[in-house]
A and B are shown apart, each in its own frame.
Chain A
Amino acid sequence: MSILSINGLSKRYGTTHAVRDLNLTVEPGNVYGLLGPNGSGKSTTLAMILGVTRPTAGQYQWFDGAYSGARSRRRIGSILERPNFYSYLSVVQNLKVTCAIRGLGTSADIDSVLKLVGLDDAKNQPFDNLSLGMQQRLAMAAALVGETDVLVLDEPTNGVDAKGIAEIRQIILDVASQGKTIILASHILDEVQKVCTHISILKAGRVLESGSIENLLSAEECIEIAGHDMQGLFLAMENLKQFESIERHEEYYVARLRPGADIAQINAHLVHQGHPPFHLSRIKQSLEARFLEITGEQ
């Protein structure tokens, strides 16, 4: 059973295409990142799958259609854009409203999520008195209360200080370790790389690339290589025809491998040619490098 399947989802505001023909599937246990620059359609996509924005075309289905729209949302804890709560209600009262709407969660659940997000001391404070960081923690608490199966988080660390960011990341990882599915939209590459198992990279409303982080980052593998005769090594490598590109850095080359290239074979060939490398290591691109490459912003 898939948690979420999206087929051809599009949203247009006048002549602007916020999301175009989006397709993706989220499997149980995935920590799925929607990665993209501002205005790439991440939040619009989440708003559509959470029922607050009507798609122009396409469809989506939660839990393989096992529940109706609203019933499925009750099994999903969400933070969309900024935290939206009743300013005159206290932290606990706001969570009681969330629990009442979901029809899930008890006072004990509320206490436990408040402890988890570090708001137990502020439980009786009105929402209006909370700092932005505390409001974001409350949003996290609201998403978690009532034993939801899925978390949908849109920029969950917005406005949170460095310590808070680390804590929220840890909460996300803890929730993921319980086997829950998480869908996370962010423009912070580091955040996505640290917590996500799968990602879709969006730009101008289109998915440019998607898959597991592992596959995405190893799709174009590179090696770092250095030898005593750097010029001779370069010529020997060029003859090999196993590299997409070779770039000279200070004391080594960074060579991007062609698909199917075999590093052991490359090493053997270079030794055979009389240019044995004294440094040869496989390197993976950072998500940042891969992201810039895919979005064409390098």
Chain B
Amino acid sequence: MIRIFRAEWIKIIHARSFWSMLCTYGFIYSVCVYAFAKFFASLTVNGGSIGTAIMNGPQAWAAIAWVGHWLSFLLGFTVIQLVCNEFEFRTNKQNIIDGYSPAEYYAGKIMLVLGVSILASLLYIVIAAISAGAYFAGEVVAAFTLACVGTLSLALIFAFFARRAGPAGFLFLAYPVILEPIINYLLSGNSATGMSQFLPAEAFSRLTPFPVSQSQWGGDLNFAHNSLIAVCVVIGLWSLSYLAFSYSDR
């Protein structure tokens, strides 16, 4: 594992495009949180400001997590670019020739997903602490991290299947907007308890629900339940893309 980590670290630490995308994410995230707070502060219901309710304490941390999760598609593009570049420049092939097993190569990409998710979570904590005070909501942070891991795993599976950044990026964007709603419709399921809750975009978005929704954790279901489903979906995505990678020519 240390061998894989060392190799992936050298690849990432010198990748300027990766760090500039992360900085862009941090900047856009901060601006969006500011705009979000301003927008809700201006809304009044029954004479009271919604912003005051949302941008305070645990609610604020949940709201900022919701914003961050929606913006994590930017990080998804970074993952797609890094993984697809390896296919395009055949460095994935060279890594295997140099001594990675397909499983080790894939483990390196999972490390990338986890690493980016951890960095995004650290950014989230900093932004949330600055915007909403040093209230530390362990469950919300864990949910945000898991949602990032899920979204980036979705990017990973498209990168491994398409192997080209353009088509992979398109699929990554189109999946939650077009494909998943169609699948959801075909399943005719109840998104709260039926098969639809196992669809990736649904499973991950339920971890960071919109803060004014009925319950913080999406309907009647709780954090543990949603997290368990998200973990199962992530493992399913990883398994699928690993199988596709290991049973094909590099």
Q: Which residues of A contact B (CB under 8 A)?
A: 47, 50-54, 68-71, 73-74, 78, 80, 82, 84-89, 93, 96-98, 100-103, 142
Q: Are A52 and B97 in contact (CB under 8 A)?
A: yes
Contact among A70, A71, A87, A103 with B89 in the assembled complex (CB-CB below 8 Å)? A87
Give me 24 A-to-B residue pairs in the complex whose CB atoms sit less than 8 angstroms apart, sorted by A's number.
A51-B96, A51-B97, A52-B97, A52-B250, A54-B247, A54-B249, A70-B99, A70-B100, A70-B101, A70-B104, A73-B97, A78-B97, A80-B93, A80-B97, A82-B90, A84-B90, A84-B91, A85-B91, A96-B10, A97-B10, A98-B98, A101-B3, A101-B99, A103-B99
What class of interface size applies to chain B in its complex with A? 20 to 34
Contact among B3, B14, B249, B250 with A100 in the assembled complex (CB-CB below 8 Å)? B3
Q: Are B10 and A89 in contact (CB under 8 A)?
A: yes
Contact among B3, B91, B93, B98 with A86 in the assembled complex (CB-CB below 8 Å)? B91
Cβ proximity bits B1-41 to A, threshold 8 Å, 1 near / 0 not: 00100110011001111000000000000000000000000
Q: Are B89 and A73 in contact (CB under 8 A)?
A: no
Question: What's the A-B contact tally at a CB cutoff of 8 Å?
Answer: 77
Given that A84-B89, A85-B94, A101-B7 are contacting pairs, would A69 and B250 also be in contact in the complex, using a CB cutoff of 8 Å?
no
Q: Are A88 and B14 in contact (CB under 8 A)?
A: yes
Cβ proximity bits B26-70 to A, threshold 8 Å, 1 near / 0 not: 000000000000000000000000000000000000000000000
- Residues in A whose Cβ lies below 8 Å from that of B94: 80, 84-85
CB of A16, distance to nearest CB on chain B (Å): 14
Contact among A54, A74, A80, A93 with B99 in the assembled complex (CB-CB below 8 Å)? A74
Q: Are B98 and A74 in contact (CB under 8 A)?
A: yes
Q: Are B3 and A103 in contact (CB under 8 A)?
A: yes
Specify the chain A residue showing the minimal Cβ separation from B99.
A74
> Whole-angstrom distance between the alpha carbons of A178 and B96 in the complex?
26
CB of A282, distance to nearest CB on chain B (Å): 43
Besides A70-B100, A80-B94, A102-B99, 17 more A-B contacts (Cβ < 8 Å) are A52-B250, A53-B250, A68-B101, A70-B101, A73-B96, A80-B93, A80-B97, A84-B94, A86-B91, A93-B10, A93-B14, A97-B11, A100-B3, A100-B7, A100-B10, A101-B98, A101-B99
CB of B55, distance to nearest CB on chain A (Å): 40
Tell whether B95 is near chain A: CB-to-CB under 8 Å: yes
